[in-house]
Structure 1
Amino acid sequence: MAKSMVSGKPLSLMLQFATPLLLGNLLQQTYNIIDAAIVGQILGDKALAGVGASSSIQFLVLGFCMGCCTGFGVPVAKFFGANNLHKMRKYIFNGAVLTGIIALMVTIVCSVCCNQILHLLSVPQDIYDKAYAYLIVIFLGIPFTLMYNYLSSVLRSLGDSRTPFMFLAFSAILNIFLDLFCIVVLKWDCAGAAIATITAQAVSGILCLVYIFKKVQIMHLEAEDREIKGSAVKELLVMGIPTGLQFSITAIGSMVMQSANNKLGSVYVSGFTAGMRIKQFTMCPFDAFATAASVFCSQNLGAGQAKRIKQGLWQAIAVAVGYGIVAGLVMIIFGRPLSMIFVKKSAVDVLDASAKYLRCMGCFYWSLGILNVARMVTQGLGYSGRAIFSGVTEMLARIIVSLGFAGTFGFTAICFADQTAWVTATIYILPTCLYCVKKSTAKIAAGTV
C-alpha cells in the first residue's frame, strides 16, 4: 500500500518504513548466509572459498544494477510526494525500459568475460573451478535480480516497504529448501547454491509484478504512459547511473582488496569470506535506515517541506550511529563464535582470520551509519553526482591500503582497509549532504523544485 511521508512524526514514519525493509534485507542476507553455511559445512573450506572468492565482483556488478534501480526510484518518490501521478507513471515506464536494457547488456558482458574476471581477481587454482561454476550462474540470473530490485524500489518510493518484504520472506524460505535440494540431493556443488539463490530472487520479482497488476491501481499504466520520453530518460539516467556507479566504484576498491587477500592463500580467503558474510548481515540496518531517510527526504522535497528534510536527516543519523556502536561491540566480542556458522571448529586458522577481521572492523562500525545515511539523503535530494565522490574516496582508500600495506602487513592490512575507506568517505559526504540540504531548502523557498 502506498504511503505518504509528508506529514506526521519523521522518526516514527522512517522507523515504520525501515522495519519491513530491514527484515527484508536480513532475509536476503539470511539466504546468502545459508548458502555459505551449507557450502562450508557440507562441501568444506575449499568450496566456501570458491563461493566467496568472487564476492567483490558480485558487489561491483550487482551493486551497479541495484544502484541504478534505486536511483530510478528517486524521481518516482518526488512526483508521488507532489501528487503528480500522471508524471510518476511515465517515469515508472521509462525506468522499466532502462532496467531491461541494463539487465540484457550486463548479463551478456559479464557471462562472456567470467573467466577473465576470475583471473583478474587472482583466484587460487585449487578453488578456480568452484568459483567459476558459482559466478557464471549468478551472472546469468542478473535479469531476475534486477526485476525484483526495480519493482521493489518503485514500491518503496511510494512508501510501501512492507510488500517487497513479504515476497522476499517467502523466497528466503524457498531458498533454504532449494539450497538443500540442489546441494545435498542433486549434488550440484557450488553451482547449486547459486541456482537456489537466483531462483529465489526470480520468485520475489514475479510476485512483486503480480501484486502490482492486481493491487496497486496508481501504478497501472495507460496507453499515454507507455511512451519513451527523452526528458524522463535523461532525468532517470542522471539519477540512476551515478548511483549505480557509486556502488561500483566502491566495489572496485573491494575488488583490489579481495585480490590482495586472495594472494595470501585459501585460508585467508575462507576467513575473509566468513567475516564478509557476517559483515553483510550486520550492515542491513544501515541500508534500511538510509533508504528510509532517502525516501522520506525525497517525498518531502516534492512536497516543499524543508524543515522535515533536516529533521529526517539528523534523526536517521542518530539511529544509525547508535546501532553501529552496538553492532561493532557484538563483532568485537562474538566474532569467533559467529564465524563457526560457516567454518568447522577444527579449522582453527580460518576462524582466527575471520575473528580478527571482525574485531578490527567493529571498532569503526559506527562511522558506517553516518556514511550511509548522508550518502542516501544526498541522492534522494537529487544530487547523485555529488554522492558518487564518496564512493571514489572509499575506492581510493581501499586501494591504497590493499596495495600499499598488504605486502608488508599481510592480512592485518586487509582487516583495516574497510574502516579506512568508511572514515575517509564520511569526512567528505557529511558536509556535502548538509550543503545539498541547504540548496534544496533554497529551491523550495524559490519554488523551483
Structure 2
Amino acid sequence: MIVGQLMGKNAVAAIGSTTSLVSFILGFAQGATAGMGLLVATSFGSRNPQQVNRRFGVSAVLISIIAITLTFLGVLLADEILKLLGTPTNIIVPAQTYIRIIFAGIPISLTFNFLSNMLRSIGNSRTPLIFLGISSLINIIFNFVFILFFHWGIAGSALATVFAQFVSAALCVYHIYRHVPLLYWHKPLHLTFKEIKIQLSAGIPMGLQFSIIAIGSILVQRSLNQLGTEVIAAFSVASKIDQISMLPMSALGTALGTYVAQNAGGQKYQRVLLGIKQTFKLSILISVIITLLILLSNGRLTYLFISNPGEKLLNLIRLYFILVTPWYILLSGLFILRFTLQGLNYNLLPMVAGLIELLMRTLAAVILVGILGYIGICLSAPLAWLGGISTLIYRFWKAIRQVEQMAQLKKRGEKEIS
C-alpha cells in the first residue's frame, strides 16, 4: 500500500512478482511451526505440562535448523528463480533487492511465527494478536521513514518489514520470559529419533501443504509475468486486497485447529463438535459480508495501494474481484475442513488436498491462461479451492462421525459411573 502510494505501480509490480516465491519459502516455515504447535496444543489439552515443555524444546531445535537452511537456500537461489519465472527486465533488479532482504530475515520471521503459534497452542491468542498489531504499525511507520527520509526505495520497504518482525519476535520472547514458564526453553537432553519423528510428522506435512499451494502460485506467476507490467501490478494489488480479506477466515480456521487439538487431547468431544459448528456459521457469514464489501468498494480500495492507477488497471482489478470473491464462501469452508482435520491429527490428507490445489492451479496456468489470458489467472484460485474442498469433505464427514461416536461413548460411561 505504502510502496504504491510513494513509488508507483512499477514498484508494486516488483514486489508483487516476488510474492509467490516468498510464500513458497515462508509458507513452509510457517506451516511447520503451526503443525508443531498443534502437537503442543494436544499435550496442553491433556494437562501434561512436562510434555508441553519437552515438545516446545524439541520444536525450537528443529525450527532453528529449518530457519538456517531456508535462509541459505533462499538467498542463494532467489535471483535465479526470479529469472526463471520470467520477471520483466524493468522490475527484476528491485525485485531481487527486495527478496534478498526478506529471505535474509527468515530466522526473525520464523521466530515470531513459532512463538506466536506456541502461545496460541496453550490458549493465549490475544497476546500474539497484540504483538502482530504493534508489528504492523511499526512496519507502516518505518516504510515511510526508510522510503521518504532515507530514500532507500524497495530496500527500505523490505527492511521495514524485517525490522517490524524483529520487534514482534522480541516482544514474544520477553512475554514468555516474564509470564509463561511453561514455555521456558530448556535444551532437550537425549533427543530421541522418536521425538524428532513425531514433531516432523506434524510439522513437515503442514509445511509442505503451504509450499505445495505456493508452487501453484509460482506457476501462475510465471504465466502472469508474460502478460506485462500493467497486469502484474493489477494482480498484485488485487492479491493484496485478497490476502487481507482472507485473514478473518484464515484466522478462524487456525484458531479452530488449536481449539480442536486442545479439546480432543482433553477428550472433550462435545466441545469439539460445538466449536466446529459455531465456527462454520461465523466463517460463512464473514465470507458473505467480505464479498459484498469488496464488490461494492474495490475501486476505492485500489486507490489505497496506487495513487493514480489509471482506467485499465482499475478495470483489471474490478474483473479479478467479480470472478474471485463469490467463491469466498467455498474458501471459508476449506479453512474449516483443513484445520479441523489437522487438529484431529489427520496430517497427511490436508497435504494431499494441497497437491490437488497445485494441480488445479497448474491447469489454470498452463491451459486457461493460454485460452482466456488474464481471466484464466483470476480463475486459478477458485479452481484450487474447489479441488481442495472436494478432496477433504468425505474424510471430514467421517472424522465428525467418529468424534460424535466418542462423545456418545464418553457420555454413556459417565452415566454408568454416576
TM-score range, shorter chain: over 0.9
Query: Are 1:360 and 2:298 an aligned pair?
Result: no
Choose from 395, 398, 402 the match for 2:358: 395
Aligned residue for 1:65?
29
Tell me how far 1:229 sits from its aligned partner.
3.0
- Name the SS for the 1:365 alignment partner: helix
Q: Equivalent of 2:282, from 319, 330, 336?
A: 319
2:330 pairs with 1:374: no
**Are the equivalent residues in 1 in contact too, given 2:32–2:204 (CA < 8 A)?**
yes
In the alignment, which residue of structure 2 is the partner of 1:113? 77
Distance 1:173 1:397 in 2: 36
Give 1:439 shift. Answer: 4.5
Match of 1:139 in 2: 103
User: What residue in structure 2 maps to residue 180 of structure 1?
Assistant: 144
Quote the Cα distance in structure 1 between the aligned partners of 2:344 and 2:190: 26
Contact 1:90–1:226 (Cα < 8 Å) also in 2: no
Moved more, 177-186 or 431-440: 431-440
Question: Does the CA-based 8 Å contact 2:29-2:66 persist in structure 1?
Answer: yes
* Native 8 Å contact 1:179 1:192 kept in 2: yes
Residues 1:230 and 2:193 aligned together? yes
1:60 and 1:249 in contact (8 A); partners too = yes
Is the deviation greater in 162-171 or in 128-137? 162-171
Contact 1:340 1:351 in 2 (8 A): no
- Find 2:302's aligned residue among 334, 339, 344: 339
State the partner residue of 1:152: 116
1:34-59 deviation digits (Å, cap 9, x = unpaired)? xxx22112111111100111101111
The one-letter code matched in structure 2 to 1:107 is T
Paired amino acid for 1:206? A
CA contact (8 A) 2:57 2:186 kept: no
Partner of 1:29: none
The residue aligned with 1:82 is: 46
- Note if contact 1:92-1:154 (Cα within 8 Å) is conserved in structure 2: yes
Question: For residues 65 and 31 of structure 2, what CA distance do their matches in structure 1 show?
Answer: 15
Correspondence 1:103 to 2:67: yes
The offset of 1:413, in angstroms, is 0.9
Q: CA deviation at 1:418?
A: 0.8
Distance 1:71 1:48 in 2: 32
Which deviates the most, 328-337 or 101-110? 328-337
Equivalent pair of 2:11/2:154 in contact (CA under 8 Å): yes
The 8 Å contact of residues 273 and 403 in structure 2, kept in 1 or not, is answered as: no
Amino acid at match of 2:392: I
Q: Which amino acid aligns with 1:126?
A: N
| Aligned 8 A contact 1:306 1:440 in 2 | yes
Q: Which residue of 1 aligns with 2:179?
A: 215
Q: Among 229, 232, 235, which residue is 1:272 paired with?
A: 235
1:251 matched residue in structure 2: 214
- Say if 2:5 is the partner of 1:41: yes
Shift of 1:440: 5.3
Question: 2 CA distance for matches of 1:427 and 1:128?
Answer: 38
Counterpart Cα distance in 2 of 1:242 and 1:297: 18
Alignment-derived partner of residue 302 in structure 1: 265
For 1:358 and 1:93, the matched residues in 2 are separated by 44
CA offset at residue 233 of structure 1?
Answer: 1.4
CA–CA separation in structure 1 for the residues paired with 2:206 and 2:349: 10
TM-score (norm 1): 0.88
Listed as ranges, the gaps of 5+ residues in structure 2 are: 411-418
Aligned to 1:113, the other structure's residue is in SS state helix
SS of the equivalent of 2:327 reads coil
Tell me the distance in 1 between the aligned counterparts of 2:39 and 2:404. 18
Alignment check: 8 A CA contact 1:54 1:131 kept? yes
- What secondary structure sits across from 1:374 in the alignment? helix
Q: Which residue of 1 aligns with 2:372?
A: 409
Q: Does 1:239 align with 2:202?
A: yes
Provide the identity percentage.
31
Once the two structures are TM-superposed, the CA of residue 443 in structure 1 deviates from its matched residue by 7.1
Letter paired with 2:30: M
The answer for the alignment partner of 2:395 in structure 1 is 432
Shift of 1:308: 2.1
- In the aligned structure 1, how far is the partner of 2:56 from the partner of 2:376? 44
**1:274–1:243 distance in 2 versus 1, CA, 3 Å:** same
Cα RMSD over matched residues?
1.7
Per-residue deviation, 1:442: 6.2
Question: How many residue pairs are counted as aligned between the two chains?
Answer: 410
Q: How far off is 1:444 after superposition?
A: 7.8
Q: Distance in 1 between matches of 2:313 and 2:121?
A: 42
Give the letter for the 1:381 counterpart: L
